[in-house]
Amino acid sequence: MGGTARRKTRAVRAGGLLIGGGAPVSVQGMTKTDTRDVAATTRAVAELAAARCQLARLAVPDAEAAAAFGRIRRGSPLPLCADIHFDYRLALAAIAAGADKLRINPGNIGSAARVREVAAAARGRGIPIRVGVNAGSLPAEVRRRHGGPTAAALSEAALSEVAVLEAAGFDDIVISVKAHDVFVTLDAYRLLAAACDRPFHVGITEAGPGRCGLVRSAAGLALLLAEGLGDTLRVSLTAPAVEEVLAGRDILRCLGLLAGAVIVSCPTCGRCQVDLVRVAEAVAEHLADVERPIKVAVMGCQVNGPGEAKDADVGLAAGPGGAAVFRKGRVVRRVAPEEMVAALLAEITAFLGPGAVPRRKREGQKE
**Which pLDDT band, with edges at 50, 70 and 90, does 47 fall under?**
very high
Percent of the chain with pLDDT over 90: 58
Q: Domains in the chain, ordered, with CATH?
A: 11-254 (3.20.20.20), 261-352 (3.30.413.10)
Each residue's pLDDT tens digit, 318-366: 888 888 898 998 889 999 988 989 998 899 988 988 766 665 443 334 4
Task: Please determine, for residue 14, whether its predicted confidence score (pLDDT) is greater than 60.
Answer: yes
**What is the pLDDT, as a whole number, of residue 310?**
80
273-293 b/e with 16+ CB inside 10 Å = b?
A: ebbbeebbbbbbebbbbbeee
The residue-averaged pLDDT of 262-271 equals: 83
State how far the Cα of 265 lies from the Cα of 309, in Å rounded to an integer.
10
**What is the pLDDT, as a whole number, of residue 93?**
95
Mean pLDDT of the chain: 89
Q: How far is CA 56 from the centre of its chain?
A: 11
Residue 316's DSSP bridge partners are: 298, 325
- Decide: 92 and 99 in contact? Cβ < 8 Å: no
User: What radius of gyration do the chain's Cα atoms show?
Assistant: 23
**What is the pLDDT, as a whole number, of residue 172?**
96
Report which residue type is found at 67: A
**What is the pLDDT, as a whole number, of residue 28?**
96
pTM of the model: 0.88
182-214 b/e with 16+ CB inside 10 Å = b?
A: bebbbbbbebbbeebebbbbbbbbebbeeeebb
Burial of residue 144 (CB within 10 Å: 0-12, 13-18, 19+) is exposed
**What is the pLDDT, as a whole number, of residue 169?**
92
Question: How many residues are there in the chain?
Answer: 367
**What is the pLDDT, as a whole number, of residue 137?**
82
132-142 b/e with 16+ CB inside 10 Å = b?
A: bbbbebbbeeb
State how far the Cα of 175 lies from the Cα of 10, in Å rounded to an integer.
12
**What is the pLDDT, as a whole number, of residue 360?**
45
The CA-based angle 220-225-230, given to 5 degrees, is: 100
Each residue's pLDDT tens digit, 170-224: 999 999 999 899 999 999 999 999 999 999 999 998 888 888 999 999 999 999 9
Task: Please determine, for residue 94, whether its predicted confidence score (pLDDT) is greater than 70.
Answer: yes
Residue 59's DSSP bridge partners are: 83
- Decide: 343 and 335 in contact? Cβ < 8 Å: yes
- Decide: 120 and 96 in contact? Cβ < 8 Å: no
**What is the pLDDT, as a whole number, of residue 4?**
64
Between 15-19, 29-33, 274-278, the lowest mean confidence (pLDDT) is in: 274-278
Task: Give me the helices (H) in 54-195, please.
Answer: 63-74, 88-96, 112-125, 140-146, 151-167, 182-195
**Which pLDDT band, with edges at 50, 70 and 90, does 249 fall under?**
very high
3-state secondary structure of 170: coil
State how far the Cα of 283 lies from the Cα of 185, in Å rounded to an integer.
35
**What is the pLDDT, as a whole number, of residue 209?**
84
Q: Which of 44-48, 136-140, 272-276 has the highest mean pLDDT?
A: 44-48
Each residue's pLDDT tens digit, 216-236: 999 999 999 999 999 999 999
State how far the Cα of 27 lies from the Cα of 245, in Å rounded to an integer.
7
**What is the pLDDT, as a whole number, of residue 287?**
86
Report which residue type is found at 334: R
**Which pLDDT band, with edges at 50, 70 and 90, does 300 fall under?**
confident
**What's the per-residue H, E or C state across 117-140?**
HHHHHHHHHCCCEEEEEEHHHCCH
State how far the Cα of 104 lies from the Cα of 107, in Å rounded to an integer.
9
